[in-house]
């Protein structure tokens, strides 16, 4: 299986997601939002699958640096797209696209349920087996 992961290199959650996917044999192409940017087409594609407000990282430093007036302007899908195109680091990370799946953020439990067919490498057997 092949997946595309969107995030930034120095994000702990992105690193955890990449490692989790790699150890389960999922081929991952990494798209660095800082270096490679974000397009309106990507956002439109994602927003057909998730609620608009799930893409916005309101906990990060980039959000806290915004003026209050800028924060108040994010009220719908269109205003979110405008903001994320101007400041891609406001995307909640990582975003994982894999066939029919789109996952926002990293959670081992959610990834495990989304990739049940992916097994640990054969050398990672439980003790006593």
Please give the positions annotated as active site. Answer: 11
Q: Quick one: tokens of 118?
A: 């992916």
Pair 30, 42: CB distance under 8 Å: no
- Residue 62 to residue 84: CA distance in whole angstroms: 11
User: Is 38 in contact with 84 (CB distance < 8 Å)?
Assistant: yes
Q: Give the burial class of 82: count Cβ atoms within 10 A of its Cβ; 0-12 exposed, 13-18 middle, 19 or more buried.
A: middle
What is the distance between the alpha carbons of residues 91 and 25, in angstroms, rounded to a whole number? 26
């Amino acid at each position: 299986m092949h997946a595309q992961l969107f995030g930034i290199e120095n994000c702990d959650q992105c690193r955890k997601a990449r490692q989790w996917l790699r150890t389960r044999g999922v081929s991952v192409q990494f798209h660095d939002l800082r270096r490679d940017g974000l397009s309106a087409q990507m956002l439109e594609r994602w927003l057909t699958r998730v609620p608009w407000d799930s893409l916005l990282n309101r906990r990060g430093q980039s959000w806290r640096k915004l003026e209050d007036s800028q924060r108040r302007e994010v009220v719908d899908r269109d205003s979110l797209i405008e903001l994320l195109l101007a400041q891609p680091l406001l995307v909640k990370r990582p975003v994982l696209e894999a066939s029919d799946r789109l996952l926002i953020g990293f959670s081992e439990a959610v990834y495990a349920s989304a990739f049940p067919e992916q097994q640990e490498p054969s050398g990672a057997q439980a003790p006593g087996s």
